[in-house]
Amino acid sequence: MESAIWTEKYRPSDFSGIMGQDEIVRRAGGFVAQRNMPHLLLAGPPGVGKTTLSLVIAKQLYGADWRQNVLELNASSERGIDVIRNTVKDFARTRSLGDAPFKICLLDEADSLTKEAQQALRRTMETYSATCRFILLANYSSRIIEPIQSRCAVFRFKPLGREQLFAIIDRIAAKEGLNVDDKGKAALVEVCEGDCRKLENIMQSCSVMSDSISEESVYSIASAAKPKEIKEVIAMAFNGRFLDARGRLLDAMLNHGLSGLDIIRYIQKEVLGLDVGDRQKMLLVEKCGEAEFRMSEGSDEFIQLEALLSQFALIGGKFES
């Protein structure tokens, strides 16, 4: 049953483009219906609707005048303290235009703000709360200092589920006249990892080549290794066929243009599905983490991948004579 807070002007359908975030949409709709809201911190992985929700809130509050009452900044490119002291502060201290109760300052990628800029922002948020509300978007809320988090209502977004992604694929395919087979849909869901923006970009790239989107075209366009290829590499290494596994892995890297860190991530995902004991899985995951750390610190990725495969062979304990 719908909450009584919804009015005829602000129906849940106004937020219908945001999928898989029902509770967040309901809370945001309540703020819009009351024409009032606290500062907001929208946190979660990329491509799940954070920016879209922010713009929907602004458009519902201000209608056609929303651009005059909203300041959009990408904090990753404008991340210094001068931007907060000048641009943001000048915007926040002036009253809104029209009958809007307050203005909105939208800071995208706020987790890229320097600590000094965040310290300046905390006071600005408090001082000018009567004339301006802040919406901060962040992939990692832990990078936002605690004083700012305590001033905000935190909305935590989650990656889109398989059902939502399948619905998006079907809707795009129907509108664009595309034919996506079942394996192609599964590949799209696997590659995009809950990121709707990435899903749409891959589908658009595939549609340039053909109206039919298949598993092969998805992995080719996305430059991603197929799970089957990674499983073969792991099986060869685990059964003691080290040189075969090494050659197969290098082929996959070169064919798809993958980095060592990409390969580590694919291997770690497939390890969890191996038909081996839990203790062996834990050892394999530990070795993946160790190799990933060494690569991130600057070690040669080919040497680290070879070392990882050798560990898989040693843990498997099967060697050819």
Q: What is the C-alpha to C-alpha distance for residues 90 and 74, in angstroms, rounded to an integer?
A: 17
With respect to residue 231, please indicate whether it lies within any of the assigned structural domains.
Answer: yes
Per the structure, the complete domain to which residue 266 belongs is given by 227-316
Q: Note the pLDDT of residue 119.
A: 86
Mean per-residue pLDDT, 82-104: 79
pLDDT of 12 reads 41
Q: What is residue 85's predicted lDDT score, i.e. its pLDDT?
A: 77
User: What's the mean per-residue pLDDT of the chain?
Assistant: 82
Task: Indicate whether 145 pLDDT > 80.
Answer: yes
Do residues 76 and 168 both lie within one domain? Answer: no
Q: What is the mean pLDDT of residues 96-116?
A: 83
Report which of residues 22 and 110 the model is more confident about. Answer: 110
Q: Is residue 235 part of a domain?
A: yes
Query: What's the alpha-carbon Rg for the chain, to the nearest Å?
Result: 24
Mean pLDDT of all residues in 109-125: 86
pLDDT class of 216 with cuts at 50, 70, 90: confident
Flag whether pLDDT at 313 surpasses 60.
yes
pLDDT at 75: 60
pTM of the model: 0.73
CA distances from 295 to 116, 140, 260, 305, 308 (A): 30, 22, 8, 9, 12
Domain-embedded: residue 281:
yes
**At how many degrees (to 10) do helices 242-256 and 301-316 cross?**
140
| Whether residue 92 sits in one domain with residue 20 | yes
Residues 133 and 204 in one domain: no
Residue 243 placed within a domain: yes
